[in-house]
Amino acid sequence: MQTIIQKDRFLNYIENTNHPFKNLQIQALERFNKISLPPSYHESWRKINLNLIPFNSLKLVDSELQTNITSQYTITDPSIIEKFLMLNIDSSKAESYHFEVDYFTLLNVALLQNIHLIQVPSNTKEQIKITHKAISGDGFFPFVVIIAKEGSEVEILQQIEGIEEQALWNSTVYILAEKNSRVKFVSVRNHTDYEFHFHKIRVIQHKDSYVHTAIFHTGGITGKGFLQARLLEENIEFRGIGFFFGEKGHFHNMEMDVQHRNNYETSSLLYKTIVKDRAHSVFIGKLETPHKIKGVNSHQLNHNLILSKKAKAESMPWLIVRSEDVSCEHGATAGDLDEEAIFYLQTRGLTEKEAKRLLMMGFIYDLIQETHLSEEEKEAYIENLSNKL
């Protein structure tokens, strides 16, 4: 498949930006125009029909994306930002973390929008809220780096609000958890029926750190999300959870990828979906351990609630285990609501509609409760989802 977007279309836009990273954007554009869209034979991309994205009719530039961050630790250090941008450009640098430099990572840098760096000092507690709201246009490319210094405790809520027009989202978040830090991150993505969506969350962990990530995704025509965790040193714990609700013809492919690189590390993944109408969900769960490591405990679960005959949910576990002293497992379920449970609730005075709604809310209740969201935020999300269901 040939590259669809051509260099001349964006070069003038990049050269007229006020970013201090203009040269990196041009480098990204140069590399971008030497590659093509991810091929259909690539295992991560074979379930997605990228031909649905009308690149030729999307302007992508001159869009307005409003980003608000509530943190006193937002800084502008070009050297640190450049380091993370290079992971999205330079294959040799990204290879040290096994991050792939593909079409969408390069596009994210080339059309960079609203880049932010948050660095929480050592032994500090911080609560951060990041909101990305599409105002106008059809291309949105936010880039956020969060660094939790040694001994810090950080809670982050990222919210993405789409636009009621055809648009492409392509976002990147890096989370660097230094020694003995604790990070809790929640991303709530509310996409409209007209949006294409490609999101990457990349986690890099050091010794004795703990990271908990939660992704709640609704809507969108088609797209893919990546959660990529790299556990570099000993005594690390990583937890990744997620949820997708799809209706109409929505399609979402979520790939959670955990690589254990040292001894005595623990990871767990839990992903749930509710799909109805013609919606389609694909979950890819990747767990990898290299040779000669020990004491690793890693597992993943995927549960799918399918409410319509034409809705579809697929589960694809990938376990690459090269060491003997590890414990790795996976499991998946798929099905409709329990008819006996619906009948039981009806005997207790609920209507059929109320019973189904209650069971669906119960299906995701444990995910919501596991996050650090406030009670008001949890109730607001459940109410919003309940209205959609």
Q: Please give the mean pLDDT across all residues of the chain.
A: 93
pTM higher than the cut 0.85 = yes
* pLDDT beneath 70, residues of the chain: 1-7
Tens-place pLDDT, residues 226-259: 999 999 999 999 999 999 999 999 999 999 999 9
Tens-place pLDDT, residues 285-329: 999 998 888 999 999 999 999 999 999 999 999 888 888 888 888
- Type of residue found at 4: I
Structural domain boundaries in the chain: 8-336, 338-389
Burial class of residue 325 (count of CB atoms within 10 Å of its CB; 0-12, 13-18, 19+): exposed
Radius of gyration of the chain (CA): 21
Centroid of chain to Cα 185: 11
Residues with Cβ within 8 Å of residue 125, at least 6 apart in sequence: 152, 153, 154
**pLDDT value for 6:** 56
Q: Give the number of C-alpha atoms closer than 13 A to the C-alpha of residue 99, restricted to the C-beta side.
A: 32
What percentage of the chain has pLDDT greater than the value 90? 75
